[in-house]
Amino acid sequence: MYPHTALDAPAVTPALRGCDLSVSREASAPACTGERRLQAPLLSYLEGRGWVHHDTLIVHELPWHGRHVDMVTRTKGGSLTSYEFKLGSFSRVLEQAIYNRLSFDRSYVVVAAMPRVQNFALSERYNVGIIIVDQLSVKCLLRSPLLRAERTLRDRLSAKVLAAGAANV
């Protein structure tokens, strides 16, 4: 079973509705298309690696500083991780993930293809992880190191994530 997923709040897009997650109670409709098709395999991967658990809060499309973070996880221990999905334009998704790095403990880009060498180097330089989701597998190409953000900013973000999740319980 997938961890708690925040759905249906005004601030949260129901990103998993319409996805074929088979093992998840949230699924009930056809397979996802576009960037959303990366989410179900990613969630299975994160669960399999022990990066999320039944008590992990997952919020989709979290509004944060004038943008929307594609997916956010908050563990029971309070660790905050951002995930930005993109099928193309790696430089754009990397820019988003670098912005997220300022507030989150970890930040990842989730893409469908191997990044170019220079984009890998930039990801490494800015401590942004890379997860590749292709038709057959999911793999973490580069792990985002745990770096705590400034406390006040982090506390505001954590409260926003908790509020988005509470609106859906």
Please list the pLDDT of the chain residue by residue as tens digits (169 residues): 344 444 333 233 333 333 333 222 232 223 455 777 789 899 999 999 999 999 999 999 999 988 899 999 999 999 999 999 998 778 889 999 999 999 999 999 999 989 999 999 999 999 999 999 987 799 999 999 999 988 999 999 999 999 987 765 5
So what's the pLDDT on residue 159? 93
**Domain extent at residue 80:** 5-166
pLDDT at position 169: 52
Q: How many domains does the chain have?
A: 1
Best CA proximity match to 106, nearest among 126, 86, 77: 126
CATH of the domain at 115: 3.40.1350.10
